[in-house]
Amino acid sequence: MTRSVTSPRFGAAHALAMGYDPERYFRRRANEGETFAVGLPGLGEVLFASTAAGVREIFGAPATLFSPPTPNPIAPLVGDGSLILLSGERHRRERTLLMPSFHGERMRAYADVMAHAAAEEIESWRPGADIAVRAAAQSITLHIIIRTVFGVSDPARRDEYERVITALMQSYIAPLMFVPALRREVVGLGPWARFVRLRAQFDALLSEQIAERRRTGVDGYDDVLSLLLSATYEDGTSLSDEDLRQELRTLLVAGHETTATSLAWAMYHIHHDDGVRERLVAELAADHSPADVAKLPYLNAICQETLRMHPTVSIVLRRLNGPLTIRGVQRSEGDVVGVAVPALHFDPKVFPEPDTFDPDRFLLRKPTPFEFTPFGGGHRRCVGAAFANFELAVVLATIVKGAELEMSAAERRRGQPRSVPRGIAVLPSREIVLRRLRRS
């Protein structure tokens, strides 16, 4: 039997509520049933699944049934040839080319770089000083991307990348993302003109790095850029410089602020719950290499519980290339469907007492890919998911072992920040502040 759903009345109010606190909004809407509709600007009425059964019907459908919804707000940042925006055979070819860079021994080879980036950040924290956790996390993850993805190891060159990337990411403000009419400049002035200049500066840095690698060859280099330069498609062809720039920008956008946000939330919960922190400190007491530390069960459970409570991307969207029925609701070609990740992750039938930060739930049971989707799912699951999990564990362990931090009574009284959208991710609504007690 088929059902029907309609977008709620007062759509503008719903859009505001979703923008103000997407986690709370989607969890509340999930009370209406397994599916609900939301009107989104430029996409029309989007049907969201909020239970594992509905998610299975989306992620389990044939890959040919879906395309990424367009126009996509991050297209100017990553480029129309980005893996995120491709579909069909081209998406498969690009994904096949990128996947080896983020798995197996190749990924584990980056463990020392990740630990060094965290240790370098810790060295800048004075005893007794307040630490802005998300800002510190962003510094660490950006350092890691610049070294492991772009292959930049020279400190002065790294500083230049950090300066340009930080300015670029800050320049692509929400109005430019969601109101395409604002993407114009007047005699070289305005927010769009500034963004275009910074994007050109970043592309120039990438072009220099690509040219240098092509000139010297990739032997002896382990960074993602070198791997992509040496990779070929099934027909023997390889990525052009423009394709490389777009994929490198994609890896920056998808892997910088998202992982930094997860790290900040993990630090919040570890230092908000003394029992969690003490168990983690005990697990980390033994001597582990950076690569081996990522295998520790309680550390991994903390990372997974953080991603459950605070998925960095609240919604997963697909445009239909043909008809699909989701929990009895029919949708047609051209319609957009999606997964409301916060609603899914707070389903009390799957995650009892979902408002409680409880890493043990991931030690007792491994959820299915349709119950737990912090990196999306199906054939479009984030290509860097394993890398992100590994990085989160290595950096978190390095910080907890390398610095004794505490959350002040005032910070505890403020309560947990809400999540707010920014770019492709959702971030804590305020900076999370911890204090360093002493050098460890």
Note the pLDDT tens digit of each residue in 174-229.
Answer: 777 767 778 888 777 888 999 999 999 999 999 999 999 999 888 888 899 998 99
pLDDT at 440: 47
Mean pLDDT across 46-66:
95
Identify the band that residue 110 occupies on the pLDDT scale cut at 50, 70 and 90: very high
pTM: 0.92
Of residues 269, 426, 294, the one with CA closest to residue 356? 269
**303 annotated as belonging to a binding site for a ligand:** no
Give 92-315+346-439's CATH code, choosing from 1.10.630.10, 1.10.3720.10, 1.20.58.220, 3.30.230.10.
1.10.630.10
HSE-CB of 272 using CA atoms within 13 angstroms: 21
Identify the band that residue 116 occupies on the pLDDT scale cut at 50, 70 and 90: very high
State the sign of the Cα–Cα–Cα–Cα dihedral 320, 326, 332, 336.
negative
User: What is the amino acid identity at position 252?
Assistant: L
Mean pLDDT across 361-384:
94
Cα–Cα distance for residue pair 42/147, rounded to 1 Å: 37
Mean pLDDT across 75-82:
88
Contact at 8 Å (CB) between 258 and 312? yes
Identify the band that residue 266 occupies on the pLDDT scale cut at 50, 70 and 90: very high
The count of residues in the chain is: 440
Quick one: how far is CA 92 from the chain centroid?
21
Residue 390 has pLDDT above 60, yes or no: yes
CA distances to 115, 214, 297 from 259, in Å: 15, 30, 20
Quick one: how far is CA 167 from the chain centroid?
19
Residue 11 has pLDDT above 80, yes or no: no
Contact at 8 Å (CB) between 367 and 347? no
State the sign of the Cα–Cα–Cα–Cα dihedral 199, 381, 262, 222.
negative
Place of tokens 């999930």: 30
Q: What angle do CA 412, 134, 226 make, to 5 degrees?
A: 150
Cα–Cα distance for residue pair 101/107, rounded to 1 Å: 7
CA distances to 8, 28, 404 from 33, in Å: 14, 10, 45
Return the CA Rg of the chain.
Answer: 22
Cα–Cα distance for residue pair 325/323, rounded to 1 Å: 7
CA distances to 294, 311, 318, 389 from 346, in Å: 26, 11, 22, 20
